[in-house]
Every structure is written in structure tokens, then in C-alpha cells.
């Protein structure tokens, strides 16, 4: 605009006046277009929403997809996004529905309706995929794995173990299966050989997949319960190196170091755990011990107060469940 007006200064008389008028008119027209665009998008969005209310999703979806990126009114954008997602779901348009839900979860965090429809959509997607694999590839190890997981969710340990063993018969080097068998042995009612058998499964898993942090952690838990602290320390430490986000391994490492009276070494992993899991009283208790034994009385008092506060929020006498002690395999 500035350069255009400067150019008119060199034009004679009426020509200059005409040129300046064209420049001003062009500017006004551009501003009118800019103002009209959001209004047009809003009108299109409302049209799309109206079409959805009448069950005309095939017509509505292209209109909504075109208008949504340019809508400035937050409430209207929400309504348009929700209408678009519902239409895409009804039409089986997985890409549009997924993109819309991801966008809505970002733009409207903690919105209960967004969370509800997200749960509904992805659950339905999972059910469809599960049905498809059962119908088209029933003999695949993935189909057996899904069956085993379903049995686990129902605490049908024998059936789950049988499925996993069938997978190993056909795929002896498949990662993750020995780990799951070991976990079943620890969460089901114990026998005289449960722990020893589970340990063999975790060790077999590491022979197949040396990077399995969950198997290292599980062996660390077995060592800790047996009070073989040096072994537990090494196993937990390896788990944290294999997976830096494996928080429970940091708690186990800190507990083992405290037991070995390596209190200064225990502080960093316990601090990391408490920072990420502030509601767990066990972390505060262990960190309080490490602080107290390293002369940090004020810090120890603070952690003990937090331990009492968090303990009061959980059921009195509640213990960590076996599923918590031996978690699902870290992804």
C-alpha cells in the first residue's frame, strides 16, 4: 500500500487522482473480503449443522470440513467439529473422525462430551478390528493374543496361559509372550513353584528380547521380595536404563539402595519417582528415609508429612496389587 501511494506522487493531475482512488478502492475491497470470509464460513457451518440435524451427513460433511478451519466463534466451531465427527463416524470415515477427535481433545481439553465420544469411537474401532482379525485370520498369533488378553481381563488364568503357550509353540521367538506367562504366574493364586516358574519365564523373555525393561523390572521385584538387594539394585537399574520413563523401576531402585544403606545414591531415583507420582505414599516414605540418613532433616520431615497426607487419601491398609507390582509390559 505504501509503495503504491508513493508511485502516484509522480503522476500528473487527474491521473494521480484516479490512481489514488483505485488504490483506496482496492484496499476497501480487500478489507470487505477479509470481513466476509469468517461470515461466509459461519453461514456454511450453520448450514452443515442444519443438514446433520436432518440426517443428511453425506451432504453436510464436505460443507463442515471446508468451513471449520475458518470459524472464529468458539461455540460455533465446537458445534461444527462435533457435528463433523459424528457424521464421519456414521459414514465410516475413520480418517476424518480420528483427525477431528484429536483436534477436539487438543482444543477442548477435559470436555466430558469430547472424552465420551472419543472413548466410544476408539472402542468401536477396536471392536471392529478385533472382529475382523477373528473372522479373517483366526489362526494368526495376533488373534490368539487377543483371546489371551480377554481371558486375562476375566481372571481366567489357565485359559490365558494356554493361548500364550499355543502362540509359543508356533512362534518360539516371539517377543513379549514369555513375559506375559511370567506375569500370569505372579498374579494368579500362588503355588510352591509360582515364583521360580515366573523367574524362568522372565529370563526366557530376556533371551529373546534383551531390551525388555518390564522383564528386568519383574526380576527386580522377585529379588527385592527375596531381599537379595544387590541383585535387585542391578535389575532395577538396568530397567531404568532400558526405559527412562519406567517410574516404578526408580522406586524399586531407591528402595533397594536404602536397604543397602546407599542413602545418597537412593535420593536421585526417589526424587524422580516422587516428582512424577506425588500421590504415592511409598515414594515419600522412602525418600524421607534417604533424606534422614543423609542429614537432610527438614527435607525428611517434609516428606514424612507428605507420606501421612497421601496415606490418608488411600484406603487404610491397602497394598499394591500384583498387577501394580508386575505391570503390563512397557510399550
> At residue 34, does pLDDT exceed 60?
no
CATH of 213-331, one of 3.40.50.261, 1.25.40.10, 1.10.260.40, 3.40.50.150: 1.25.40.10
Q: Give per-residue pLDDT as tens, 148-206.
A: 999 999 999 999 999 999 999 999 999 999 999 999 999 999 999 999 999 999 999 99
pLDDT average, residue stretch 299-317:
89
CATH superfamily of 137-210: Tetratricopeptide repeat domain (1.25.40.10)
227 φ/ψ sector (left φ>0, alpha ψ -120 to 50, else beta): left
pTM for the model stands at 0.73
Rounded CA-CA distance 303/297 in Å is 10
* Domain range annotation of the chain: 37-133, 137-210, 213-331
For 37-133, which CATH class? mainly alpha
Q: Give per-residue pLDDT as tens, 109-146.
A: 999 999 999 999 999 999 889 999 989 999 999 999 99
Rounded CA-CA distance 48/40 in Å is 12
Please report, rounded to a whole number, the percentage of residues in the chain having pLDDT higher than 70: 83
Q: Give kind and range of the element (H or E) at residue 93.
A: none
Amino acid at each position: 500500500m505504501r509503495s503504491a501511494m508513493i508511485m502516484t506522487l509522480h503522476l500528473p493531475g487527474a491521473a494521480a487522482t484516479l490512481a489514488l482512488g483505485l488504490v483506496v478502492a482496492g484496499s476497501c475491497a480487500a478489507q470487505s473480503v477479509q470481513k466476509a470470509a469468517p461470515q461466509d464460513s459461519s453461514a456454511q457451518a450453520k448450514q452443515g449443522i442444519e443438514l446433520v440435524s436432518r440426517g443428511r451427513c453425506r451432504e453436510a460433511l464436505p460443507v463442515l470440513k471446508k468451513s471449520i478451519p475458518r470459524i472464529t466463534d468458539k461455540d460455533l466451531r465446537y458445534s461444527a467439529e462435533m457435528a463433523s465427527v459424528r457424521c464421519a463416524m456414521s459414514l465410516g470415515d475413520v480418517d476424518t473422525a480420528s483427525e477431528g477427535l484429536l483436534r477436539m481433545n487438543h482444543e477442548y481439553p477435559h470436555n466430558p462430551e469430547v472424552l465420551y465420544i472419543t472413548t466410544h469411537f476408539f472402542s468401536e474401532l477396536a471392536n471392529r478390528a478385533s472382529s475382523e482379525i477373528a473372522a479373517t485370520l483366526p489362526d494368526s498369533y495376533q488373534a490368539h493374543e487377543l483371546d489371551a488378553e480377554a481371558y486375562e481381563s476375566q481372571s481366567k488364568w489357565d485359559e490365558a496361559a494356554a493361548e500364550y503357550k499355543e502362540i509359543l509353540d508356533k512362534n518360539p521367538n516371539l517377543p513379549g509372550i514369555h513375559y506375559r506367562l511370567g506375569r500370569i504366574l505372579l498374579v494368579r493364586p500362588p503355588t510352591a513353584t509360582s515364583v521360580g516358574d515366573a523367574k524362568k519365564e522372565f529370563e526366557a523373555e530376556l533371551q529373546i528380547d534383551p531390551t525388555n525393561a518390564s522383564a528386568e523390572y519383574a526380576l527386580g521385584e522377585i529379588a527385592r521380595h527375596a531381599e537379595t538387594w544387590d541383585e535387585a539394585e542391578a535389575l532395577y537399574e538396568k530397567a531404568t536404563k532400558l526405559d527412562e520413563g519406567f517410574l516404578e523401576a526408580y522406586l524399586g531402585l531407591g528402595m533397594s539402595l536404602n536397604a543397602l544403606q546407599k542413602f545418597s545414591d537412593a535420593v536421585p531415583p526417589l526424587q524422580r519417582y516422587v516428582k512424577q507420582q506425588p500421590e504415592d505414599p511409598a515414594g515419600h516414605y522412602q525418600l524421607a528415609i534417604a533424606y534422614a540418613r543423609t542429614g537432610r532433616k527438614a527435607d525428611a520431615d517434609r516428606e514424612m508429612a507428605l507420606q501421612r497426607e497421601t496415606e490418608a487419601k488411600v484406603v487404610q491398609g491397602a497394598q499394591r496389587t500384583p498387577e501394580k507390582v508386575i505391570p503390563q509390559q512397557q510399550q
